[in-house]
């Protein structure tokens, strides 16, 4: 397998067929709905709360509500009352099964359920997917992860997942790869390509993207969607109190497996950092939308998926540089 990451790859432009970049279609379908961007807000308390979920949904952006210290049934009911789509996340603990039972009992069938495990290639994943299908049927679009191998993608799809999340440890505030030695850190883009080659359903690249160009590269390599916390942190709407550090306004950004979120130091695989607090999240979404439209124009296509038709070159600027003779 050829190993590379985002900074190792550049795409080769083709003749533009659009009169204006604004004509490029960068929308993306997920389940029965179509959204403005193939970018989804990660299920992290540091970047998403009920208010942001509502605002994203109103503007046709996809989100995944986190599962920490929240009444998911009440959240689902409120989204339904607002005539907005319901997208939640669960784990595989007994409490998650209770959430599924309670939603079914209240006839609050969510349109999207994300099963969120650090290592999603496990029999516990199979069992919970089957349980969701039993109670919710085909009405619910199931996202399962995280995984890193083609074998895992095939298994999750065969177990009933509609989409798989690819990525172990490449996130900005994730330390799994550092603490365990396992993961897709420094080869996330290659992992996306290997997994997408065998996928029959939706592939979601989770973690590792630091720029709009990285989003384009992930789609080029076969991802249908990108999940990110990084793109959603450090804005006026971001959860948490704005602080001032060395004269700069900042907010805290932390991983789900960090001590901050877990409120203990047991099996910590995430970190906490301060990020600058700058402007509006939705200005950032518009900026990404315009960047993706520009990328489509460079690809010679009309839709964001057309960036897959380009060639790419390996430049290896930072990783995998062979030793000098």
Of the candidates 46, 56, 174, the one whose C-alpha atom is nearest the C-alpha of residue 119 is 174
Is the backbone peptide bond immediately before 282 cis, with ω within 30 degrees of 0?
A: no
Is the Cα dihedral 318, 153, 295, 299 positive or negative? Answer: positive
Catalytic residue among 16, 106, 174, 195: 174
Residue 122 and residue 158 in contact, taking contact as beta carbons nearer than 8 Å = no
Residue owning tokens 């533009």: 16
With b for 16 or more beta-carbon neighbours within 10 A and e for fewer, the 17-35 pattern comes to eeeebeebebebebbeeeb
Distant-in-sequence, close-in-space partners of 210: CB < 8 Å, separation ≥ 6: 6, 172, 230
How far is the C-alpha of 297 from the C-alpha of 293, rounded, in Å?
Answer: 6
What helix, strand, coil percent values describe the chain, rounded to 5? 35, 20, 40
Q: Does 310 participate in catalysis according to the annotation?
A: no
C-alpha separations of 268 from 181, 237, 271 in Å: 14, 27, 8
How far is the C-alpha of 204 from the C-alpha of 134, rounded, in Å?
Answer: 24
Query: Exposed, middle or buried: residue 240 (CB in 10 Å: 0-12, 13-18, 19+)?
Result: middle
How far is the C-alpha of 277 from the C-alpha of 237, rounded, in Å?
Answer: 10
Neighbours of 248 (CB within 10 A): 12
For the record, the structure tokens of 251 come out as 């907010």
How far is the C-alpha of 146 from the C-alpha of 246, rounded, in Å?
Answer: 37
Residue owning tokens 């603490």: 179
Among all residues, which ones are annotated catalytic? 174
């Amino acid at each position: 397998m050829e190993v590379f990451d985002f900074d190792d790859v550049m795409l080769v432009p083709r003749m533009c067929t659009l009169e204006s970049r604004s004509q490029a279609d960068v929308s993306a379908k997920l389940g029965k709905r179509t959204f403005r961007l193939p970018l989804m807000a990660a299920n992290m308390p540091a970047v998403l709360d009920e208010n942001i979920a509502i605002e994203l949904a109103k503007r046709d952006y996809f989100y995944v509500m986190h599962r920490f210290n929240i009444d998911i049934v009440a959240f689902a009911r409120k989204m339904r009352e607002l005539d907005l789509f319901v997208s939640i996340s669960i784990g595989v603990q007994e409490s998650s099964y209770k959430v599924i039972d309670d939603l079914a009992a209240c006839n609050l069938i969510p349109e999207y359920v994300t099963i969120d495990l650090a290592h999603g290639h496990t029999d516990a994943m199979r069992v919970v997917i089957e349980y969701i299908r039993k109670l919710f049927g085909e009405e619910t679009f199931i996202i399962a992860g995280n995984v890193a191998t083609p074998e895992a993608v095939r298994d999750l799809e065969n177990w009933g997942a509609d989409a798989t999340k690819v990525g172990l440890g490449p996130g900005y505030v994730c330390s799994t790869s550092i603490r365990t030695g396992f993961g897709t850190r420094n080869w996330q883009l290659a992992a996306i390509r290997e997994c997408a080659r065998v996928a029959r359903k939706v592939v979601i690249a989770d973690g590792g993207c630091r720029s709009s160009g990285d989003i384009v590269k992930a789609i080029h390599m076969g991802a249908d969607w990108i999940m990110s916390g990084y793109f959603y942190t450090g804005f006026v709407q971001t959860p948490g109190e704005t602080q001032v550090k060395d004269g700069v306004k900042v907010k805290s950004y932390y991983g789900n497996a960090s001590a901050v979120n877990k409120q203990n130091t047991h099996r910590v695989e995430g970190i906490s950092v301060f990020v600058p607090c700058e402007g509006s999240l939705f200005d950032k979404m518009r900026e990404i939308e315009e960047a993706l439209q520009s990328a489509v124009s460079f690809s010679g296509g009309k839709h964001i998926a057309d960036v897959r038709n380009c060639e790419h070159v390996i430049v290896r600027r930072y990783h995998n540089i062979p030793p000098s003779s």
